[in-house]
Amino acid sequence: MDCVQWQTMGSIGPARYPGTRTWGTMVALSIHLDRKADTPLYQQIADAVRQQIRLGRLVAGVKLPATRTIAKDLGVHRKTVVQAFDLLGDEGWLVAGVGQGTFVRSDRPGLPSELRRGTELEREDGDDGHVQSLAVGTGFSWDALLRARPEPSPVWRFLSRNRPDPEWIRFTGATADPSHFPAEDFRECVNEVFREQGANALDYGTPEGIAPLREFVAERLVPNGVVVDPDQIMIVNGSQQGLDLVARLLISPGDEVLVEEPGYSNGFRLFQALGARTIGVPLDPGGIRLDALARTLRETQPRLLYLMPNYQNPTGLSLDADRIEPLLELCRRHRVPVIEDQFDGDLVYRGAPRRPIKASDREDQVVLLGSFSKILFPGLRLGWLVLPRPLSPAMRELRQVADFSSGLFVQHAMLRFCRQGRLERHVEQVRRIYGARLEAMLAAMAREFPPGVSWTEPEGGLTVWVTLPDGADSLELLQQARGEGVDFSPGFLFFPNGGGGQHFRLSYVRETEERIERGIGILGELLRAHCARMPELSSSRPFF
């Protein structure tokens, strides 16, 4: 047997607190062997035990199973287990009590001396060799208590069944390329914050965020036609938190919410986690279809419309300028607020930057979400919300009980980065880099992809959207592509209520031009074979 596990109630005595009883605490030991590995078996056993002591799964004083038991259960020679225990004894992890067995040492640093010797471990084999719960067989059921049951992300379910290889050419992940993060620039800003503000930058902040950063955001929106007071801006932990906070103010379980289809999966997963029903409104190359939107608004009672009008994820498409006013008018008539996700308005490579529809919002009916994560550092978790004034008081209250505020320290560092012109320099740089990658991808697709396959030609953003002929299946293609070392995001991830098998998304920002061309070449070859098997190509099919 390659995997064995023992469990027991080890007793941990609170000797320092006389008068209290000694409560048991479940402890467990599990050992997995990989007989094909280069590491010797005794080393694998020692590694497993050491790891579990270090992680606190095996607390000091616990008695280990006899070497004979372990050897028998694992199907190894007893000498192998003795060798492992000897090694751990030499390292100071285990200690032998004469005639008593082997114990986890209680005098190693970091553990209080009152931890008592445990009882002997009883063997219990786990199905997959993992302890499912340290509290086995108790009557307390969390499952029955869960009010909210967020569905596992389809991305997560998919990826957990199909782990990507780091060597693959990865067209997945609509996130910036960390190899171009201006980390050294940011380090300088961080040190300036320490020098000039010291400990004060590490204290509590306010729910709305620091005023000068809100002022910066407000100023930077002006050239986009969005003129708002800094008081209307709240700094949040990335635009996802912004969306969460707005949705919590506007949605109750059972509500209907309109989303783009295809659209941003973590948007509709959030609405679903809040108990809402997501209703997809289809796109065409000019963005969300107004006829479909009008019909859906008539037929449903949505609480909000969530929209990524420019450089949309996943399609890269932008809303036609002449749809903006009718869209706002439609939503106003139905009293449906618009949540506009600006996503990556800075990542524009072709044509003039598109204005947010917030710029046309005379009635204060649009909440605008933005982020520093796509253009700068997602690891700082900084974004912002532009709030219609009537929402501000409730939002401030909600934020205070949700998590108080964004970190003061990163806000100050980001403010310096932005105010010193480093943001604009960085925007220029990544626009150039990503723009070249987009052109490389589009040129390679035109060269390599067979007739019947169509794709978007985005002006900005991070992704291109590909549509296969009728009957083709992007999951099947993905399986073949992974076999050839190319990864992409299958279309079903971006459809809130199923479908999307005919599409896939390609991200071009995290790979070099050379690798992009190679990857598209491989995909092209697979697509040609794939399409050759199709009964007929339906090039007349609408885009979505």
Provide the minimum distance between the beta carbon of 26 and a copy of itself in the complex, in angstroms, as a whole number: 7
Q: Which of 403, 8, 17 is nearest to 237 (CA)?
A: 403
- CB nearer a copy of itself, residue 244 or residue 511: 244
Bridge partners (DSSP) listed for residue 23: 12
Provide the minimum distance between the beta carbon of 64 and a copy of itself in the complex, in angstroms, as a whole number: 16
Q: Binders of a copy of itself: how many residues, by CB under 8 A?
A: 134
Residue 154 in the binding site for a copy of itself (CB under 8 A): no
Provide the minimum distance between the beta carbon of 130 and a copy of itself in the complex, in angstroms, as a whole number: 9
Site for a copy of itself in 377-406 (CB under 8 A): 377-381, 388-391, 393-394, 397-398, 400-406
Q: Return all residues near 147 (Cβ < 8 A) that are at least 6 apart.
A: none
CA–CA distances in Å: residue 97 to residues 89, 115, 227, 383:
12, 16, 76, 58
Residue 309 in the binding site for a copy of itself (CB under 8 A): no
Residue 451 in the binding site for a copy of itself (CB under 8 A): no
Residue 254 in the binding site for a copy of itself (CB under 8 A): no
Residue 124 in the binding site for a copy of itself (CB under 8 A): no
- CB nearer a copy of itself, residue 1 or residue 183: 183
Site for a copy of itself in 268-297 (CB under 8 A): 269-270, 273
- CB nearer a copy of itself, residue 205 or residue 485: 205
Task: Locate all alpha helices (DSSP H) within 204-351, ordered by sequence.
Answer: 211-221, 238-250, 265-273, 290-299, 321-333
* Cα 15–Cα 20–Cα 26 angle in degrees, nearest 5: 75
Question: Rounded to whole angstroms, how far apart are CA atoms 252 and 225?
Answer: 33
The pair of structure tokens assigned to 60 is 């000091």
Residue 50 in the binding site for a copy of itself (CB under 8 A): no
Residue 532 in the binding site for a copy of itself (CB under 8 A): no
- CB nearer a copy of itself, residue 98 or residue 199: 199
Residue 196 in the binding site for a copy of itself (CB under 8 A): no
Site for a copy of itself in 337-366 (CB under 8 A): 337, 352, 355, 359-365
Q: Which residue has the tokens 């253009």?
A: 375
Contact window for a copy of itself (CB under 8 A) among 89-97, 375-383, 448-456, 524-532: 375-383
- CB nearer a copy of itself, residue 380 or residue 468: 380
Cβ atoms 519, 487 nearer than 8 A: no
Provide the minimum distance between the beta carbon of 492 and a copy of itself in the complex, in angstroms, as a whole number: 18
Residue 542 in the binding site for a copy of itself (CB under 8 A): no
Site for a copy of itself in 227-246 (CB under 8 A): 227-230, 236-238, 240-241, 244
Q: Which residue has the tokens 């700068």?
A: 376
Question: Rounded to whole angstroms, how far apart are CA atoms 487 and 182?
Answer: 27
Question: Rounded to whole angstroms, how far apart are CA atoms 359 and 191?
Answer: 36
Write the DSSP symbol of residue 348: B
Site for a copy of itself in 94-113 (CB under 8 A): 110-112
- Choose which of 59, 189, 472, 537 interacts with a copy of itself (CB under 8 A): 59
Contact window for a copy of itself (CB under 8 A) among 193-201, 445-453, 459-467, 524-532: 193-201
Q: Which residue has the tokens 């997995």?
A: 32
Site for a copy of itself in 7-46 (CB under 8 A): 9, 12, 14, 16-17, 19-21, 23-27
Provide the minimum distance between the beta carbon of 419 and a copy of itself in the complex, in angstroms, as a whole number: 12
The pair of structure tokens assigned to 47 is 């590694």
- CB nearer a copy of itself, residue 214 or residue 530: 214
Provide the minimum distance between the beta carbon of 297 and a copy of itself in the complex, in angstroms, as a whole number: 15
Residue 57 in the binding site for a copy of itself (CB under 8 A): yes
Q: What is the 3-state secondary structure (H, E, C) of 258-277?
A: EEEECCCHHHHHHHHHCCCE
The pair of structure tokens assigned to 133 is 């719960």
3-state secondary structure of 8: strand
Q: Which of 471, 451, 490 is nearest to 533 (CA)?
A: 471
Q: H or E stretch including 29?
A: strand 23-32
Contact window for a copy of itself (CB under 8 A) among 56-64, 442-450, 463-471, 475-483: 56-64
- Choose which of 47, 86, 124, 215 interacts with a copy of itself (CB under 8 A): 215
Write the DSSP symbol of residue 200: G
Cβ atoms 469, 537 nearer than 8 A: yes
- Choose which of 98, 99, 141, 533 interacts with a copy of itself (CB under 8 A): 141
Bridge partners (DSSP) listed for residue 12: 23
3-state secondary structure of 159: helix
Q: Return all residues near 323 (Cβ < 8 A) that are at least 6 apart.
A: 286, 287, 288, 290
Site for a copy of itself in 401-430 (CB under 8 A): 401-410
Cα distance from N-terminal residue to C-terminal residue, the chain = 52
Residue 143 in the binding site for a copy of itself (CB under 8 A): yes
- CB nearer a copy of itself, residue 405 or residue 502: 405
Residue 482 in the binding site for a copy of itself (CB under 8 A): no
- CB nearer a copy of itself, residue 331 or residue 537: 331
CA–CA distances in Å: residue 78 to residues 42, 66, 122, 230:
10, 10, 18, 71
DSSP structure string for 308-329:
--SS-TTT-----HHHHHHHHH
- CB nearer a copy of itself, residue 326 or residue 483: 326
Residue 539 in the binding site for a copy of itself (CB under 8 A): no
- Choose which of 150, 164, 451, 483 interacts with a copy of itself (CB under 8 A): 150
Residue 3 in the binding site for a copy of itself (CB under 8 A): no
Residue 185 in the binding site for a copy of itself (CB under 8 A): no
